[in-house]
Every structure is written in C-alpha cells, then in structure tokens.
C-alpha cells in the first residue's frame, strides 16, 4: 500500500523544484509583495541600503533570490518602488501642511512636528531609515529620490519659509534650507534611539513632541518674568 506523500514546505523547496524567477502560478501575489517590501524596508532601516543586497532580503523573507528578482528586477527598482509606494505618500502628507496653513507659520510648524511624530510612530522604519539615508549626504535613497522625483517639493517648502521671513512672521535668522531637516532631526533622532534601546519608563511619543515643542516655542532658557 503506497505511503501518503507529505507536503514539502514552500520555503524549503529546492531551486530545481521551482520555475526560476517566477512565483507559483506565474501571478503576482499582492500580500507576498507587500511582505517583501516590509522586509526590505526593515533591512534598509537597520543596515542601510548600500549594505543590503537582494540576497539578504530574500534570506530574511525565506524566499528564493529568483522570486525577489521576479517581483522587483533589481535593488534600484526595489528602491524606486519603496520611494513611490511607501515614502512619497508620507512626505506628501507632511508637505501638504504648508499649503493648508500657508499664512500661519506657527500652526503649520506645530502640525508638521505632530505629523512627523505620528509618522514615526505608525511606521517603525521611518525614523531609522531617515537617519541612515536622508541625514547622511548623498545616500542611495536621496540620489534615487532626486533622480526620479526632482527637488520641487523641498524647494517649495523653502520658498514658503522665505516668504514667512520676509513678512516678519518667522525669525529672519533661521536658514530656510536647514529648517525642515532640523525639525526632522529633533523628532527622529530620539525616535530612532528609543526604538533600538530600552526606553525610560513613560518615555513615549507624546513626551518627544512635548519636548521638541517646548524647545522650539520657549527655547533653552526659562525667560518667564523677564522683560
């Protein structure tokens, strides 16, 4: 009597058991594609893009390198997809606040701080990826972003900041080209750090926002009562 054949787990199949470069059925599995993007983002955030190969992503996801290539073709293509599908929508939400409060820099900047905190809280890769790639000069991420999508969004924000200064609504000594990077750093540096290490009791997103808001609105020194 023939014995029952046990099913081999998918991730333990040998390359010879697969059609190279194609998932079973030959159709893109949306859930698996999203999972692969999640894995890639996690490794990019932890290690940096330059240090993360497609093979490393495939190993972490427990799929073949051929399957990863089927979905994304190359690391550059994968990075373009991550920028378009994961990063740009978040940047758009932050940049939109400038337009919504174009005559009120105080409200705009406070809401931008809040949005950065919310973004870092909801997307655990955002803070460490920004620290790895956006805060380190001409990184692979920054280069692909500029190559594919230009610099118009950043330049528009700079122009609005300059207009606030000209209208006397914002400190004229601020450097418009540094303001957004400074705001991002004030939020994302502590966010990236407390995501990686044990945080003190009660150290949370609200406290980060409260600290940064106080720093920006009141400064370092307690000037209450001074004239």
pLDDT tens sequence across 140-185 = 888 899 899 999 999 999 999 999 999 999 999 999 999 999 999 9
pLDDT confidence of 89, banded at 50, 70, 90?
very high
Which two structure tokens, joined as six digits, stand for 118? 């919310």
Using CA atoms, how far apart are residues 3 and 128, in angstroms rounded to an integer? 52
Whether residue 218 has pLDDT greater than 80 = no
Architecture of domain 10-73: Orthogonal Bundle (1.10)
Whether residue 19 has pLDDT greater than 70 = no
Using CA atoms, how far apart are residues 33 and 94, in angstroms rounded to an integer? 26
Using left for φ > 0, alpha for ψ between -120 and 50, and beta otherwise, residue 137 falls in: left
> What pLDDT does residue 22 have?
44
> What pLDDT does residue 204 have?
83
Which two structure tokens, joined as six digits, stand for 173? 């000594």
Locate the domains of the chain by residue range. Answer: 10-73, 77-218
> What pLDDT does residue 4 have?
44
> What pLDDT does residue 200 have?
53
**CATH class assigned to 77-218:** mainly alpha
> What pLDDT does residue 134 have?
76
Backbone φ and ψ for 66, nearest 5 degrees, come out as -65, -40
State mean pLDDT over 178-205.
78
> What pLDDT does residue 170 have?
94
> What pLDDT does residue 193 have?
79
State mean pLDDT over 84-88.
95
Backbone φ and ψ for 30, nearest 5 degrees, come out as -60, -45
**1-10 tens-digit pLDDT:** 444 444 443 2
- What HEC string does 77-114 produce? HHHHHHHHHHHHHHHHHHHHHHHHCCCCHHHHHHHHHH
> What pLDDT does residue 227 have?
44
Whether residue 21 has pLDDT greater than 60 = no
Whether residue 114 has pLDDT greater than 80 = yes
State mean pLDDT over 9-31.
47
> What pLDDT does residue 104 have?
96
Using CA atoms, how far apart are residues 139 and 51, in angstroms rounded to an integer? 12
**37-69 tens-digit pLDDT:** 999 999 999 998 989 999 999 999 999 999 999
Q: What is the mean pLDDT of the chain?
A: 83
**What crossing angle do the helices spanning 30-47 and 54-61 adopt, rounded to 10°?**
120
> What pLDDT does residue 2 have?
46
């Amino acid at each position: 009597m023939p014995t029952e054949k046990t099913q081999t787990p998918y991730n333990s199949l040998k390359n010879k058991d697969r059609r190279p470069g194609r998932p079973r059925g030959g159709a893109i599995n949306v859930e698996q594609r999203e999972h692969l993007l999640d894995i890639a983002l996690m490794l990019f955030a932890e290690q940096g893009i330059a240090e993360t190969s497609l093979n490393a992503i495939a190993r972490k996801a427990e799929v073949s390198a051929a399957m990863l290539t089927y979905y994304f073709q190359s690391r550059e293509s994968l990075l373009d997809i991550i920028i378009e599908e994961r990063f740009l929508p978040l940047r758009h939400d932050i940049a939109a606040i400038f337009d919504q409060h174009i005559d009120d820099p105080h409200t705009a900047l406070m809401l931008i701080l809040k949005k950065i905190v919310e973004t870092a809280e909801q997307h655990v890769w955002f803070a460490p990826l920004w620290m790895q790639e956006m805060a380190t000069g001409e990184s692979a991420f920054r280069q692909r972003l500029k190559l594919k999508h230009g610099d118009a969004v950043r330049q528009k924000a700079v122009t609005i900041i300059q207009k606030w200064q000209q209208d006397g609504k914002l400190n004229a000594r601020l450097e418009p080209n540094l303001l957004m990077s400074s705001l991002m750093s004030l939020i994302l540096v502590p966010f990236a750090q407390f995501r990686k290490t044990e945080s003190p009791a009660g150290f949370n997103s609200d406290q980060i926002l409260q600290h940064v808001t106080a720093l920006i609105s009141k400064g370092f020194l307690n000037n209450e009562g001074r004239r």
